[in-house]
Amino acid sequence: MSLEERARKLLTGKVEFLLSAPALHFLPDAGAPEIAFAGRSNVGKSSLLNALTGRKKLARASVTPGRTQELNYFEAGDPVEIRLVDMPGYGFAKAPVKVVQQWRHLINDYLRGRTTLKRALVLIDSRRGIKDVDREVMKMLDGAAVNYNLVLTKADKIKKSELDATLEAVTAEARKHPAAHPDIHVTSSEKGMGIAKLRTAILAAAEA
Ligand code: GDP
């Protein structure tokens, strides 16, 4: 079976919510390789996770308001082959300083201490490009030496010419970041664009 076919079968097959970790000591014991998803709030992270797993809504524990600072763990495969880690969204304009600091600590500790973390995906809205809050996360990943891919979301929302310009700018910026992978993924969860390729990259990173 090709890597692409295995990735599709794995990620659209059994995927189950494991737990929400509001702090490091709630993390599950190290197990299957982890792929972490990061991005500004509203970047399309939930939609992308749904598209990758071929679901309308990936089940998770009730997300109560105010409890957004959590790492949500999902496990794929039977037996489990891979863990998908939904990182808390960042970039809330009105987030209190304390919340931002808590977020930074949680993410930094997670990125630096997690040996089973194989790859991070940093989602970037195609219409907006890379913002300073994204750059901060990219620097955290560089500092923790966690390899990551930039993933453009909502590619269906803009014209091809605009998308090409964004892709060029994002590619140029990725080159300046030591832990950023040169391959930028262009996706639309709505249209299914780039989803099969991203699934394949996820499995390849998990198995590397
Ligand atoms: P999250 O906050 O990062 O989890 O973002 P969501 O997945 O909830 O998406 C935020 C908004 O963007 C929602 O209104 C989605 O319907 C929309 N959205 C997400 N992905 C796409 C996409 O690929 N295309 C379009 N047109 N809209 C999208």
Summarize pLDDT for 5-56 with one digit per residue, the tens: 999 999 999 999 999 998 889 999 999 999 999 999 899 999 999 999 999 8
Atom 24 of ligand 1 has which residue's CA nearest to it? 154
Comparing C-alpha atoms, which of 165, 149, 154 is closest to residue 125? 154
Q: Which residues line ligand 1 (CB under 6 A)?
A: 39, 41-47, 89, 153-154, 156-157, 188-190
pLDDT for residue 64: 54
Across the range 110-129, mean pLDDT stands at 96
Does 103 or 139 have the greater pLDDT score? 139
In the reported structure, the alpha carbon of residue 41 is separated from the centroid of ligand 1 by a whole-number distance in angstroms of: 10
Give residue-wise pLDDT tens across range 47-102: 999 999 999 888 665 555 555 688 999 999 999 999 999 998 888 777 788 888 88
Distance CA 72, CA 22 (A): 9
Give residue-wise pLDDT tens across range 168-206: 999 999 999 999 999 999 999 999 999 999 999 999 999
DSSP three-state, residue 121: strand
Name beta bridge partners: 151: 123, 185
pTM confidence score: 0.95
Say whether pLDDT at 130 is over 60. Answer: yes
DSSP three-state, residue 166: helix
Total domains, the chain: 1
In the reported structure, the alpha carbon of residue 79 is separated from the centroid of ligand 1 by a whole-number distance in angstroms of: 31
pLDDT for residue 65: 54
Residue 115: give the domain boundaries: 3-207
Q: What CATH number is attached to the domain comprising 159? A: 3.40.50.300
For the record, the structure tokens of 70 come out as 């959590």
DSSP three-state, residue 73: strand
Complete DSSP assignment for 127-186: TT---HHHHHHHHHHHHHT--EEEEEE-GGGS-HHHHHHHHHHHHHHHHTSTTB-S--EE
Give the strands of the sheet with 34-39, arranged side by side. 15-21, 71-76, 82-86, 34-39, 117-125, 148-153, 185-186
Q: Which mutation among 40, 45, 47, 186 tests ligand 1's pocket best, with the greatest number of atoms within 8 A of CB?
A: 47
Say whether pLDDT at 117 is over 80. Answer: yes
Contacts of 96 (CB under 8 A, 6+ apart): none
In the reported structure, the alpha carbon of residue 47 is separated from the centroid of ligand 1 by a whole-number distance in angstroms of: 6
In the reported structure, the alpha carbon of residue 45 is separated from the centroid of ligand 1 by a whole-number distance in angstroms of: 7
Pick the atom of ligand 1 nearest to 189's CA. Answer: 23
